[in-house]
Structure 1
């Protein structure tokens, strides 16, 4: 979902982050040849981008339906267990909605729809996996996470 840039700040690692009108934040790195954003390198460049739009990935994340109730939770997974039990493409073949909750570290969640959408999931941002959705989980170093399962009532 496209949202306007309303400001910028630097994160704890020294990377620039855009503040979006929806209240979410998104990194805006210049990392050629993969990401080409030379405007982020100076004040004038960043100021020129105020009011421009970015695709807010957090606003694009599906939401668990309001009538769904949590029915169970998985045990805690670490990166080794994830690699053993959830490596490669997976599918939520159940009727449940799944909330992917990271309690420590970071995890790349790739949602497979008509194209692949990638998200970095951390303790501040959980992912939602709708029924019938394909996905891939890739731990970024040490991670601890679990799955919360919801059923529509």
Structure 2
């Protein structure tokens, strides 16, 4: 195994670390394009990880699932969640507060954006919306970006 060249980050093919501004822009672009997120929650049964369809409205992530699911039970108890987007070489982790909302409680203006979800609680009985408001966001592509990976903290962009 060969040591990385001095001054070059390991991983990422030697690419220089992106600035925080660029990582924020790239993270927002990824959130806007993402149609699925890994949803991590925990409860009495231990950790739980499941992919769910999602849409980003510019300020929060909306997902939908069955009201009686293990995910919803965990989120009702905890009120917070971790979402993962991207791939192992373009990671965005979003920790946030979750609001579980019945279809009838969603404002009409928001419903159009939610129609893109394949499991639409408006059409599928027994489903709810999960609205996740980001509190902390991390983004990185390689080890050279790990030290400065936090781009949002306490609900505020650090850039």
TM-score normalised per structure 2: 0.24
- Which structure dedicates a bigger proportion of its chain to helix? 2
- The structure in which a higher percent of residues are strand is 1
